[in-house]
Amino acid sequence: MRSIARIAVIGATAAIVAAGTSTSAFAEDATIHSVGLDARSKFVANGDHLYITDMRKDGHSAIGIIERGAQYYYWNRDGVDTTRHVNLDLEENRAIALGAVIGDWSGTPTGGIIWSTLSTTTISTS
């Protein structure tokens, strides 16, 4: 979706934003990264592509989180050094949040997430 001129990425949860765990970048970068200790999420605005990479052999899954009104969780359960690609179709000119976290799948999108490992990245729309 090339018409996405700017994307604002905010903290995945209010608690994360309040804790001040985010860093700043600009939407012109076109590629947005959220890198934690064990997981990485990458969002490419041109085409709305999400990549979730498991970066550590620890028995946990990598999870990419996108928030756009509601939160959506994309699990990569394939193990260390694997990347899951998700081709999204997001609405144009709408702010989103991007996060990376690890967890242990327990049958629900949020079950088993280890929230203390959450990493977020903030993109300014100005």
Are 83 and 75 a contacting pair, CB within 8 Å?
no
- Enumerate the domain spans of the chain: 9-124
Query: What φ, ψ does residue 18 adopt, rounded to 5°?
Result: -60, -35
Contact between 36 and 98 (Cβ < 8 Å): no
Whole-angstrom Cα distance, residue 23 to residue 89?
Answer: 26
Contact 79, 85 (CB under 8 A): no
DSSP letter, residue 94: -
Q: 9-124, which class in CATH?
A: mainly beta
pLDDT tens digits, one per residue of 65-120: 998 888 999 999 999 999 999 999 988 777 788 999 999 999 899 999 999 999 88
Report the SS3 class of residue 35.
strand
Q: What is the pLDDT of residue 96?
A: 83
pTM for the structure as a whole: 0.73
For the stretch 6-59, pLDDT in tens is: 233 323 332 333 233 333 344 444 578 888 779 999 999 888 999 999 999 999
pLDDT at 3: 29
